[in-house]
Structure 1
Amino acid sequence: MGDKITLPTYSLFIKPQDLRQLRSDIWSNEHIPAKLKVGHSTYHIEIAYRGALTRDLPKKSFHINFIKPGTFQGGREIHLNAEYLDPSLIRNKLSLDFFKSLGVLSPEAKYVLLSLNGTVLGIYLQLESVDDLFLKKRGLPQGPIIYAHNDDANFSFLDPDTEEIKESLFDGYKLKCGQEADEDRLCEMIYKINTLSRSDFSQEIRRYMDIEKYLRWLAGVVCTQNYDGFIQNYALYANPTTNLYEMIPWDYDGTWGRDCHGQVMEPDYFPIQGANTLTARLLDIDEFRHRYRNLLEEILATLFTPEFLEPQITANYQLLRPHIRQDPHKRKAVAKFEAEPSFILDFISKRNSYLKNQLATLL
């Protein structure tokens, strides 16, 4: 037997007056000064709460900028996700690792045990930021990165909530790396998605989007059944070598049979065709639809199966299990945590069967 793997411990230290400021407005994105100790190293940082609906929960998520030294584990910022609404704590990491198996660019994720001023906050998922250093670590050429930060990022003229025309085609997006011209190019693509005839669209979209990689991303979103993944929770990277956009997933806790609130989502809830305007237009083209069908058929036979995913689920569960009672927000829900691996595997089996039965709709 090897040594038991334990979670790295991250210790936050925030002065009382700064902590009061942080807690006085949970919706503020203003960072406050703090220190982070990891092992024998101490980092001067800036910290703020992160997330949307999660900010109002008892266990907060954090965004950290590194000031001195200016980088940490190859990045200048990290996200610490509480995963409060996921009883398993593993859905986000399992999803991001699944996308990697599909050949989709995906941020690194790892678990840590976090404390604040000596009080244990619990198990957190550390997420790598998608930025220029994300590309550098992967040996990829520097190019524009655009975040889809709310549900207006649906590749449509219409706001998904009001069904009214958006004020700007860039609504829902935020430029992380790049210049104004990169915003204009995305708007140009969205305009063409919504206006071109089928034959013109079939040719023009190849100038903007890496179709193969988009279809692989689409298969990942459909398998994990993340509705939000179609209209937010992704980033676009324009690879300058090809001048084509690639999709990068983000925030995938509402997956594997539960929605973003942790409620059960039946395995047949979301259709095989996915959602958003770009997906609908792509699947309207025989060539793209048939490629998606063949790709999905292969994934359902190899990667999206209980046999392939069970070792990853078990490894994550076994890593977290010794620490679950140290998490003040999870120690009373140990039984539910222990039941989640079986719940997730059952979802995979049923979702796999549902999608296989739906493949004929893509002929």
Structure 2
Amino acid sequence: MKAIKIPVYQIYIHPMDLRELKKDVWNDETLPAKLTVGKKRYDIDIAYRGSHIRDFPKKSYYVSFYGRKTFRGAKEIHLNGEYKDPSLIRNKLSLDFFSDIGVLSPRSRHVFLKVNGKTEGIYLELESVDENFLAKRGLPNGPIYYAIDGDANFSLMSDLDKDVKSSLLSGYERKTGTAEDSNHLETFIYKINTMLELEFEKEIGKYLNIDRYLRWLAGVIFTQNYDGFVHNYAFYQNRDTGLFEMIPWDYDATWGRDVNGKRMEEDYVPLEGYNTLTARILNVTAFQKQYRDILSEILQHQFTIDFIKPKVDGMYKDLYSCIALDPYKDKTEWLGEPELIYQYIAARSAYIREQLAKLGW
């Protein structure tokens, strides 16, 4: 058997705790465990993570490290099973793509996981978006919010029950920061929904990093993450500038596959996106032009087969050594996924160019 080319993670959970973990997959309470990577052992707390993915046979995990100990500069990590993605690479490919186009994005790497000696297969280790995420990038500390459901839509109205929200913070969970910071977020959401057109154009740049937001929007559009507009992101406010910006999260349903792993047509997600903030920004002529220029720039440089293929090839080369060992994956299907990704890039590029011409931006 060929040597595995990606890091091997071995987790040991006491059998009684493992039974407790399996008893209720929706329980967020962590249980003690051990993580061994190479010759190093770490005391950890572990729980299942995700929403609908908890029902999958291949579980995903949240891992935190005891006391002052960190692992690769992090206090916590996420281990994603990528169960519905036949390629196992779409999440990482997307997050790296966001970084390439100038958006704050979590780092990730593939690992091979065993739990109590049982092979669980290939996982994606995801960097947590928290104060350590900011410190590693030399960014000032500031509040970070997770978009936890469809109400994170920058609207006064709920996407879930189609009624007025009970709170402007509905859909958000504060990861770092204070109650005063949350007041700033409430003010921002209120302003988005109440400023008149001319006031919005003049004032929105005092609250939001426009360039970063439009680049994030472009990233959602190119990867075609349907949930990316009202979910699947974190929201960070830079304390030095006071400006908010978006951070992508959970991007496995992309590059031509939907959340169920089925083929997604290249015209499924429109260029204008779906949330209230995007609608207001793209109603401003100057921002339309800025967005058009960003889309054109990415079409020419990063969203090309020439740019993406070496990244796909590199990941496939690393994973080839252990794909046959993953009990949840079909190697034959896995081998065919790169071509599907390249077909998607060609088709999506043509669609975006066609839409830009029609919109006249």
- Report if TM-score (shorter chain) is over 0.5: yes
Deviations 1:107-141 (A, max 9, x none): 00001100011111110000000100111111111
Is 1:30 the counterpart of 2:20? The answer is: no
Opposite residue 304 of structure 1, the aligned amino acid is F
Check the 8 A contact 1:155/1:278 in 2, yes or no. yes
State how 1:196-207 maps to structure 2 within 5 Å.
196-207=195-206
RMSD: 1.2
Q: Describe the SS at the equivalent of 1:176.
A: strand
Opposite residue 47 of structure 2, the aligned amino acid is A
Q: 2:219 maps to which residue?
A: 220
Check the 8 A contact 2:3/2:321 in 1, yes or no. no
Deviations 1:196-231 (A, max 9, x none): 111111122111100000001010000000011100
Q: Describe the SS at the equivalent of 1:322.
A: coil
Gaps of 5+ in 1: none
Deviations 1:4-42 (A, max 9, x none): 870111000011110010000000000001001111111
Q: 1:345 maps to which residue?
A: 342
Deviations 1:66-122 (A, max 9, x none): 015621110000000000000000000000000011110100000110001111111
Q: 1:180 maps to which residue?
A: 179
Check the 8 A contact 1:147/1:175 in 2, yes or no. yes
- What is the distance in 2 between the residues matched to 1:219 and 1:279? 11
Q: Describe the SS at the equivalent of 2:66.
A: strand
Q: Describe the SS at the equivalent of 1:257.
A: coil
Opposite residue 57 of structure 1, the aligned amino acid is F
Is 1:357 the counterpart of 2:343? The answer is: no
State how 1:206-355 maps to structure 2 within 5 Å.
206-330=205-329, 333-355=330-352
Opposite residue 347 of structure 1, the aligned amino acid is Y
- What is the distance in 2 between the residues matched to 1:192 and 1:311? 43
Decide whether aligned partners of structure 1 residues 69 and 114 sit closer, same or farther in structure 2, where only a CA change above 3 A counts. farther
| Residue 316 of structure 1, CA deviation | 1.0
- What is the distance in 2 between the residues matched to 1:205 and 1:334? 49
Q: 2:96 maps to which residue?
A: 97
State how 1:120-199 maps to structure 2 within 5 Å.
120-199=119-198
| Residue 181 of structure 1, CA deviation | 1.1
- What is the distance in 2 between the residues matched to 1:176 and 1:204? 27
State how 1:96-115 maps to structure 2 within 5 Å.
96-115=95-114
Opposite residue 104 of structure 1, the aligned amino acid is V
Gaps of 5+ in 2: none
Q: 1:7 maps to which residue?
A: 6
Opposite residue 336 of structure 1, the aligned amino acid is E
Q: Describe the SS at the equivalent of 1:63.
A: strand
Check the 8 A contact 1:297/1:359 in 2, yes or no. no
Q: Which moved more, 1:275-284 or 1:69-78?
A: 69-78
- What is the distance in 2 between the residues matched to 1:287 and 1:239? 24
Opposite residue 29 of structure 1, the aligned amino acid is D
- What is the distance in 2 between the residues matched to 1:116 and 1:68? 23
Q: What TM-score do the two structures reach when normalised by structure 2?
A: 0.97
Opposite residue 6 of structure 1, the aligned amino acid is K
Q: Which moved more, 1:215-224 or 1:157-166?
A: 157-166
Q: Which moved more, 1:122-131 or 1:240-249?
A: 240-249
